[in-house]
Amino acid sequence: MSQPDAKLLPFPKAPRERRPRDPRIDAFRGLALAMIFIDHMPGNPYEHFTLRNWGFSDAAEAFFVMSGIAAGLAYAGRFLPESRAEKGLWPAVAPVWSRAWTLYLVHLFLTLAVITMFAAGAEYFGMASLLQKHNLGAVWDDPQETLFGLTLLGHQIGYVNILPVYTVLLLAAPAAMLLALKRPWLLFALSAGLWFAAGLWRLNLPNFPKQGSWFFSPASWQFIFVTGLLIGIYMRRGERFVARSKWLFGIAAAFLIFTLVWKYVPGVGPFMNNQMWKLSELGLPFHITSHNKTFLATPRLLHALALVYVISCIPWITRLCAHRLAAPLRLMGRQGLLVFAAGTVLALGFQVILFGTDKAPPLAWGLPPVGLALLLLLAWAADWRRRRESVRLPDQPLRREELRARAAPMTAPKLGGTS
C-alpha cells in the first residue's frame, strides 16, 4: 500500500515558528462586544446601527463564533497527538475546564450585580416595576428556590444569559477538539445534525424553579461555536477550514444582500415571511421556517455563516483590522471577558437609569459613548498591566537562581557532614 499524500492529512505536524496574531480576531471580537453593550441598552439611538440591523443574526452569533475561534487557537495545540504523548490528556483538558469555571464564577457575579442594581434602582426611583424586569420577579417571590436555581444556572436573568451557554460548550470542547484534530468534517457533520435535532425536538436545558427552558439552547448554539472552533484550529495551521471559492463567495455575498432586501425593501419582507409560513404549513420544522433565536433558526444561522465567510475572503479587511484606527477594537478584543463583564454591568446599570428617568433623550444619547469610553479605559489598564508583567517574567528565573545561590552558604552546614 502506498503512503498517503501528506497534503490530504488534515493536520500535519505543527511548525515550531509561532504565527503572528491575526488582527481580525481581536478587532471583530471587540466590535461584537461593543455591539452587545449597545444592544443591551434598549431605547438608545445607537442600537439602530448594530449588526442586527444588517441581517438576521446579531452580535450574539458573532460572540459565539469568535469564542469558538479563540478556543481553537488557544487550546487545540495541547490536544495534538505529540503533545498528549508527552504530557498526557489532563494538561490539555484542565485549562479549558478552568476557563469554564471562571466563566461560571463571572456569571454568578454578574447575576448578583444586576439583582443589586435593579433593587437599588427600584428603591431610589420609587419604581417597584424594576423588580419585575428581566426575569427578576422570581428572586423576590420565591427567593429560596430561585437562589438555588441561579446557582445551578436554571434561573437566568435577562441580558445575563450568554455565559452559561458558553460555559457548557467549553465543558464539551475537549471532546470536540479531539475529534476535530482527527476528523474535522465528521465533527462538523455531527454538530450540524445535533443542531437540526435540537430544533426539531426542541432540545434545551430546563429552567428552575419556573417552567420553560434556557434562552439559548446549547444543543443549537453549539453548531456556530463548533464552526468557529474548526476555523480556529485550521488557522493555527495557517490554513482555511473552507477554501476560498468564487462561486461560494458569490452565493454568500448574494445571500447577505438578499437579507437586506428582505428587511428593508417595501413588500419583500411580508411576502417572504408569508412564504416561510406556507412552508411551515407543509410540515417543515419551525427552526427552518422562522427567525427563532433560542434554537438558532436557519435564516439567522445562514446569515452568520455567510457573513463570516465573506469577511474571511476579503484581503483588505485584514489590513483594515490591523490599522491604527482599529486599535481600540483590538484592545477591547484582547480583554474580551473583562470587557464583556464590565459592559454587562454598565449596560444594565444604565438601563436602571434610563427606566428611572423615562429614557430621557440626553441620557439615551450620552450614556452609550460614556460606557464605551469606560470600557476602553478599563481594557487599556488591563492590557498595560499584562504587558508590564510579561516584561518582568524573563527575570523571574534569574531571581530564583540568585536567591538559591545566596541561601546556599547558610544551608550548607546543615546539609553537609563534619569538616
Question: Which of left, alpha, beta for 319 (phi over 0: left; psi -120 to 50: alpha)?
Answer: alpha
The pLDDT, as a whole number, for residue 390 is 77
pLDDT in tens, 16-36: 455 678 899 999 999 999 999
pLDDT score at 419: 33
145-196 pLDDT, tens per residue? Answer: 999 999 999 999 999 999 999 999 999 999 999 999 999 999 999 999 999 9
Residue 376 in contact with residue 328, Cβ under 8 Å?
A: yes
Q: What are phi and psi of 416, to 5 degrees?
A: -85, 175
pLDDT for 177: 97
Q: Give the Cβ contact number of residue 93 at 10 Å.
A: 19
Residue 392: per-residue pLDDT: 65
The pLDDT, as a whole number, for residue 5 is 43
pLDDT given at position 394: 56
Here the cell at position 218 is: 446549547
Question: What share of the chain has pLDDT > 70, as a percent?
Answer: 89
Would you give the distance in Å from CA 50 to the centre of its chain? 17
User: What pLDDT score does 3 carry?
Assistant: 42
What's the count of helices (H) and strands (E) in the chain, helices before strands?
18, 0
**Cα atoms found within 13 Å of the Cα of residue 283, Cβ hemisphere only:** 0
Count the helix, strand and coil residues of the chain and give each as a percent rounded to the nearest 5.
75, 0, 25
Average pLDDT over residues 352-376: 93
CB neighbour list of residue 320: distance below 8 Å, 6 or more residues apart: 326
Higher per-residue confidence, 390 vs 51 = 51
Neighbours of 155 (CB within 10 A): 22
Assess whether pLDDT exceeds 70 at residue 228: yes
For the chain, the domains span: 26-55+326-401, 56-313
Q: What is the predicted pLDDT for the residue at 375?
A: 98
pLDDT at 388: 87
pLDDT digits 0-9 by tens, 112-159: 999 999 999 999 999 999 999 999 999 999 999 999 999 999 999 999
3-state DSSP call for residue 418? coil
> Mean of the pLDDT values across residues 32-53?
95
The answer to pTM > 0.85 is yes
Could you report the per-residue pLDDT of 260-317, keeping only the tens digit for each? 999 999 999 999 999 999 999 999 999 999 999 999 999 999 999 999 999 999 999 9
- 66-84: average pLDDT: 94
